[in-house]
Structure 1
Amino acid sequence: MSRRWCRKLEVAILSFVGFTGFLFLLQNNDNGPVLKEVIDTSRTIPPIQDNPPNPPKAIAECRENVSVANISGFVGLPDHIKDFLRYKHCKEFPLLLDMPDKCGGPDKSYNVFLLLAIKSSPGNYERREIIRKTWGQERMYAGVQIRRIFLSGGVANPRDARKLNQLLKIEAEENGDILQWGFHDSFFNLTLKQVLFHSWMEARCPGVRFVFNGDDDVFANTDNIIHYLLDVPGAGDEHLFVGQLITNVGPIREKWSKYYVPEQVTTSKSYPPYCGGGGLLMSGYTLRTIYKESLGIELFPIDDVYLGMCLQKAGLAPSSHMGIRTVGVRVPSSRLESFDPCYYKELLLVHRFVPYEMLVMWRAIHQRNLICGKRIEVYQPF
């Protein structure tokens, strides 16, 4: 048989096999996809969750309350106070970045002894990074678990918003510690941030024992905080709300002040007792109580005062702790160095520090050879 004849026979056979296979595919296509026959059933494929736990809640856009323009004296108010009055009824905003497993889920959140909830504006990247490396480390200490979360909003400028939102997303992916809501992060919106955090806690971490609530420019000695909380009765199931106690004060009526609150916001001349918002500690019981009371109290522009209002409505009182210094540390003499680790070693919290000071002080108070105080020996003459 010639080579040419062999090639013709080979082509004919291949054509017949191909045509037969094509007819087979057409026949099977009537009964369902061919791929269905070749699925490897030996592999374990995770089931698709038709109803994922805690699906995101649809939040309607909050509209401006235009009627506040009729309030006497409204026209002469600063713009940020006008905005507060227009939108103070808004208590729900979309959660842009969520950490649903921060506490191990609602059922296991009781394993978290201390949650560090730190208020931080989007642009404060350096502060967040230093806190992660120092007092805000997620770790086990003295047999209990410490977890960390940063609370943030957004920025008004669209160009900055795109960049900073991307920054927060990167931080969330790398560190798993960012909560961001879709409202403008500003001083007068700190109360809104506080209320949204309490709502998040109720859904994600209801069993947490204790919460540190503070700003990103404080220096906290979390070692001392843990030792203090371990001696608190009730393991978080009883009332605790401690900080630097502030009493017998009322609204500041001077327009130049950062804390200016006009009569259009409140006619009251006094505030309930409260703790400075730079840093405070509360039990899980108290946090849940504040959340419930906040549902019936309209927002107030000063966040720490608002917490005092919620406590007052619940019949609870804030307490003072001498180890929490939200107005800084006062040294006994101007000749002494205030940035001395011996002044901070026994404290719980000091406000305020710039980022590099946090790192320097954290390392300093953990030096094994740190000696505080002077030894004086008196020699008796022979």
Structure 2
Amino acid sequence: MRWTHIYENIALLAFFLFLVGEVVAISYITFALYVKANGWLLYVGSLLRGSPQESMGENVTRFAGNVSAAGLRYFVEYPHDYRFVVDEPAKCREQKPFVVVIVPANPRNRADRDVIRKTWGGETRVGTVSGKTLSLFFLLGLPTTTATTATGELDDDDAERVQRRVLEESAEHGDLLQADFLDSYSNLTIKTMLMMEWLDSRCRGHASYAMKVDTDVFVNVRNLVGMLSSPNAPESNYMTGRVPRRSPPDRNPSSKWYLPRDVYPGSHYPPYPLGGAYVLSLDLPGKLVEASRHVRAVYMEDVYLGLCMERLGVPLTDPPKRTLFPWATPYSRCAYSKVVRAVIPPEQLRPTDRMQVWEDFKRPGPYCY
């Protein structure tokens, strides 16, 4: 009987180990299929001017928290050890710009980047305005797989083709930065904080200010330089733009900007810079990165910057005139001549429209009559 009991225990143990092995195998296969479906890229080598790039290795974009009814994550993993796989590490040191302009962009939207390069961005690409040097960079994440094959399956080669075009574009223009996170709306906080990490590690001590600009924004570079060249412009602990104050969180679960009480219980957000465009002094990025270690990261990147500024005890600064950072503004030469930035209405966002706006804005003659 004793041996029978031992044999029964061994059989049970073997069956238990078999079940554990099955669970591990199924989990591994599920994870592998998920990775494949989301187009995570793994590559080694470089196409950029002969400079070796790190292997992207395991993609480290991971999420925590829940998903809203709108399908958006409201809590993301940051800080984390993300890496730049396309970089311009020496540009700030070599160019010593007065302002570093960074435009977060989707890796697929080459057209947006080209329009910016040909319009207002052309004045910032190692150009000088009023004797001040400016530099322009575009910040990207990894392309996701969105195309499907004839059979309806995700086309794994799609993201790889986009990535090859990104590397070719970087070799051509030398103004792209790319980090190893999936480029998506839900990851804007990661993108914004990686911008802060890059500014702190690459530009601190070599530049005075930075400006973050979305692709649907027009920048009047001369007014930007004029504002920051003013004797009243702070040189440290400075962040300005359009600053909402006492803005309440959206508690509607179906809203794009939903934030539940257990993530942020306050009745109002602290002041924060609207994400379309804002300016900051170059001593702030490192401080914001440090503050982020103590602030729970939410997916609304501009609100998150406000939370980090609150943690630092640094107030945001309103611009000298609120009209320098207006709401969405239909184009007119007179209106655009008076702003630092204007959000371009959707009906004027086509590349041909923006080129026409720029040509009209730069033609000789007075701006206002």
Corresponding residue for 2:159?
161
Corresponding residue for 1:265?
263
Corresponding residue for 2:280?
282
Corresponding residue for 2:210?
211
Corresponding residue for 1:220?
219
* Contact preservation (8 Å) 2:138, 2:175: yes
- Are 1:112 and 2:101 matched, yes or no? no
Measured in 1, the distance between the counterparts of 2:157 and 2:83 equals 20
* Mapping 1:14-29, distance limit 5 Å: none
Quickly say closer, same or farther: Cα 1:76–1:304, change in 2 above 3 A: closer
Corresponding residue for 2:128?
140
Measured in 1, the distance between the counterparts of 2:196 and 2:279 equals 14
Which residue identity is paired with 1:150? F
Secondary structure of 1:361's aligned partner: helix
Secondary structure of 2:278's aligned partner: strand
Residue from 86, 90, 99 that aligns with 2:88 = 99
**1:113 CA drift (Å):** 0.2
Measured in 2, the distance between the counterparts of 1:75 and 1:242 equals 31
Task: Give per-residue Cα distances to partners, 1:267-299, cap 9 Å, x unaligned.
Answer: 333210112110011111233332332233231
Corresponding residue for 1:15?
none
Measured in 1, the distance between the counterparts of 2:188 and 2:307 equals 15
Task: Give per-residue Cα distances to partners, 1:27-46, cap 9 Å, x unaligned.
Answer: xxxxxxxxxxxxxxxxxxxx
Corresponding residue for 2:363?
367
* Contact preservation (8 Å) 2:61, 2:77: no
Measured in 2, the distance between the counterparts of 1:342 and 1:165 equals 40
Measured in 2, the distance between the counterparts of 1:94 and 1:371 equals 45
* Contact preservation (8 Å) 2:69, 2:254: no
**1:305 CA drift (Å):** 0.7
Measured in 1, the distance between the counterparts of 2:289 and 2:61 equals 24
Residue from 181, 188, 207 that aligns with 1:183 = 181
Quickly say closer, same or farther: Cα 1:151–1:364, change in 2 above 3 A: same
Which residue identity is paired with 1:116? V
Structure 2: gaps of 5 or more residues:
1-52, 146-155
Which residue identity is paired with 1:358? R
Quickly say closer, same or farther: Cα 1:363–1:323, change in 2 above 3 A: farther
* Contact preservation (8 Å) 1:219, 1:358: no
Measured in 1, the distance between the counterparts of 2:308 and 2:270 equals 10
Give percent identity, aligned residues only.
25
Measured in 1, the distance between the counterparts of 2:292 and 2:338 equals 34
Task: Give per-residue Cα distances to partners, 1:200-245, cap 9 Å, x unaligned.
Answer: 12221112101111211100011111111111447x7323211111
Measured in 1, the distance between the counterparts of 2:199 and 2:186 equals 22
Secondary structure of 1:276's aligned partner: coil
* Contact preservation (8 Å) 2:239, 2:281: yes
Measured in 2, the distance between the counterparts of 1:339 and 1:196 equals 32
Measured in 2, the distance between the counterparts of 1:65 and 1:149 equals 27
Compute the TM-score of the two structures, normalised by the length of structure 2.
0.73
* Contact preservation (8 Å) 1:323, 1:349: no
* Mapping 1:28-67, distance limit 5 Å: 62=60
**1:77 CA drift (Å):** 4.9
Corresponding residue for 1:39?
none
Secondary structure of 1:92's aligned partner: coil
Which of the two has higher C-alpha Rg?
Answer: 1
* Contact preservation (8 Å) 1:299, 1:306: yes
Structure 1: gaps of 5 or more residues:
1-54, 69-73, 330-337, 374-382
Measured in 2, the distance between the counterparts of 1:65 and 1:220 equals 34
Residue from 85, 102, 107 that aligns with 1:122 = 107
Corresponding residue for 1:11?
none
**1:257 CA drift (Å):** 2.3
**1:63 CA drift (Å):** 8.2
- When the two chains are superposed, the root-mean-square deviation of aligned CA atoms in Å is 2.8
Measured in 2, the distance between the counterparts of 1:195 and 1:189 equals 10
* Contact preservation (8 Å) 1:154, 1:182: yes
Residue from 246, 249, 255 that aligns with 2:247 = 249
Corresponding residue for 1:344?
336
Measured in 2, the distance between the counterparts of 1:348 and 1:261 equals 31
Which residue identity is paired with 1:127? D
* Contact preservation (8 Å) 1:91, 1:196: no
**1:162 CA drift (Å):** 1.0
Compute the TM-score of the two structures, normalised by the length of structure 1.
0.71
Corresponding residue for 1:12?
none
* Contact preservation (8 Å) 2:200, 2:282: no
Measured in 1, the distance between the counterparts of 2:55 and 2:293 equals 17
Measured in 2, the distance between the counterparts of 1:232 and 1:92 equals 39
Corresponding residue for 2:304?
306
- Are 1:295 and 2:280 matched, yes or no? no
Quickly say closer, same or farther: Cα 1:173–1:238, change in 2 above 3 A: same
Secondary structure of 2:222's aligned partner: helix
Measured in 2, the distance between the counterparts of 1:58 and 1:339 equals 42
Aligned residues: 299
Corresponding residue for 2:44?
none
Measured in 2, the distance between the counterparts of 1:65 and 1:340 equals 43
Measured in 1, the distance between the counterparts of 2:315 and 2:243 equals 10
- Are 1:131 and 2:129 matched, yes or no? no
Secondary structure of 2:194's aligned partner: helix
**1:91 CA drift (Å):** 2.4
Measured in 2, the distance between the counterparts of 1:63 and 1:342 equals 44
